[in-house]
A and B are shown apart, each in its own frame.
Chain A
Amino acid sequence: MRFRKLMIKTVLNAVAWILSLLVLIPFVVVIINSFKTDAEVNVLTLKLPEKWMFENYSVVFERGNLAVSFFNSTLYSVVSSLLLVIVVAFSAFVLARNTTKLNRFIYYFLVLGITLPLNYIPLMSVMKSLHLINSQFGIILLYTAMGIPISLFITYAFVHNIPKELDEAAVMDGCNAFSLFFRVIMPLLKPILVTVFVLNFMNVWNEFTAPLYLLNDVDKWPVTLAVYNFFGQFSAQWNLVSANIVLTSIPVLLVFLFAQKHIVGGLTSGSVKG
């Protein structure tokens, strides 16, 4: 009996390792090949490079227009996430607290965007008429808009769990709407707002479709578009493309490592009853 249990445990552990390896191997292949020479990279293998080409990375950084696109991606991610946190905190607070028929309608109207597809062709003409096409400000506002539905959904549920008695106590102490919001509600919402910020940061950093349709100016491209364009030019040199892939994935992997708890929390909230 004990032997059988040990067998099962061993098999289960082995299966878990096989699954992890299946996920890791593609990454390992890319990392190893990012250090190879043009000649050696002709065939992608797990063999270590004969000569470690660290200079691939500096080549990629210069030729891939990465300084500019790193700046752009950071700008888009940070500013749109900040704006998102502000508008979502304000609206979640009011919509969850004052549940009139109209407010419930507004809530569903906004949350419906979780599932609806974006129509980029008319979006282009709408942004043109607002003078926001091919502009950094325009794309930041668009990213904020795209983040609103899911962020509101998870923040709304969080506001619901803050006891309403706190509001009453605050009013007794002489709070008005603004001081109630900034002094009482905002500090309590901090954990969920951090989650909203991190999730949106990562989504925007990884986003690819909006700039493909809306930004035709190289100087405004985010990292994703710069990488795609680099691939178009250097598709025969997989060592350089691999270095480019590694380099541009580092920021988002770092964010993931530091903010794991918030990311997983945001993904599961609303979907699992606890």
Chain B
Amino acid sequence: MKSKNLYPWYFSSGAIIIYTLFIVVPAIVGIYYSFTDWNSYSTVKNFIGLDNYKEIFAGDDVYLTYIKNTFVFTIFTTIAKTILGLFIAILLVSGIKAAGFHRMVIFSPQVLSFLIVGLVFKSLLDPNYGFLNNMLESLGLDFLAKSWLGSVAWAMPSVMAVDTWKGMGYIMVLFVAGLLAIPQDYYEAAEIDGAGFFQKLFRITLPMLMPTITIATVLNITYGMRVFDIIYVLTNGGPGYATDVINTAVYQAFAKGYWGMGSALSSVLFVVMAVVSVFIIRIMTRSEVER
């Protein structure tokens, strides 16, 4: 009785209402729209059942390419950011000079928008006037110069590299915090026993960092599956469909006025992420409780 008066239920109503209206209702409405042929060319929405989904999974291979690209992007950027973030974090806590400066510099791209980072690299990677090809030529490495964002083979690796460049600082910060939480006595005891660098890394550091590694992986996966901005700015999904992911395809469907189809594509991503989310939230809240 007392706690009811002290913690009134309506204190949480503001968050619930805003969140429901703008996040949950569109998701549900979107699933309904995904069963229609809603588009900008006619005023009637016809219910067409699973036709949109059939087209995605059994029709044109283009849609499967979007899904495949989304997974490729997610898997490679997750691995790259985790390994680089961990490597830089270990480097920065190993007692080198100006570690604070390096940490701030490497983190700084995280602060800028994807739009800005995208435009910066669009200029650096331009085949004609871009900085990268220029550099390679002046170093006598002309044969390495190429149309980074314009060739089918190199567009996806280039986009993933730019994304890793931006995102590794965030993961590094997580790992630095994780490393600083490991008690120093473990290392002292190991040194007395004569353990080398790699033994300490694999027997102490990595096992103790498992919670951080898990969270970093989870964050990278959820980000990777939803990626849009950086690809939209760098390549807009091209050349051809080389860098098209689910969310760039949704935007293209939106711009062309195929709203039912766009909703279906979005809903596929939503369902995948909803399943993944249950595991993710469990992992995140578990590390919370153990604290």
Contacts and interface: CB of A to CB of B under 8 A. Distances in A.
Contacts, number: 280
B12 A90 contact: yes
B238 interface: no
Interface string B254-288: 10000100110011011001101100110011011
Contacts of B226: 117
Contacts of A167: 6
A20 B107 CA distance: 10
B33 A122 contact: yes
Given A106-B16, A224-B115, A260-B104, A93 B173 contact: no
B21 interface: yes
Number of contact residues on B: which range applies? 35 or more
B115 A206 contact: yes
A16 B92 contact: yes
B165 interface: yes
A252 B115 CA distance: 13
Contact of B120 (A26, A45, A103, A224): A26
Interface string A115-145: 1111111110111001000000000011011
A90 B11 contact: yes
Interface of B: 2-9, 11-12, 14-16, 18-19, 21-23, 25-27, 29-30, 32-33, 88, 91-92, 94-99, 101-102, 104-109, 111-116, 119-121, 123-124, 126, 129-131, 134, 165, 169-170, 173-174, 177-178, 181, 211-212, 215-216, 219, 222, 225-226, 228-229, 233, 247, 250-251, 253-254, 259, 262-263, 266-267, 269-270, 273-274, 276-277, 280-281, 284-285, 287-288, 290-291
Interface of A: 9, 12-13, 15-17, 19-20, 22-24, 26-27, 29-30, 33, 41-46, 86-88, 90-91, 93-95, 97-98, 103, 106, 108, 110-123, 125-127, 130, 141-142, 144-146, 148-149, 152-153, 157, 167, 171, 176-177, 180-181, 202, 205-209, 212-213, 224, 227-228, 231, 238, 241-242, 245, 248-249, 252-253, 256, 260, 263-264, 267-268, 270-274
29 contacts: A9-B96, A16-B99, A45-B134, A87-B14, A97-B7, A98-B4, A103-B12, A114-B277, A115-B280, A117-B225, A119-B27, A119-B270, A120-B254, A121-B250, A121-B262, A125-B33, A141-B18, A144-B18, A146-B22, A153-B284, A208-B114, A209-B229, A224-B115, A227-B116, A227-B119, A252-B111, A268-B174, A270-B287, A273-B211
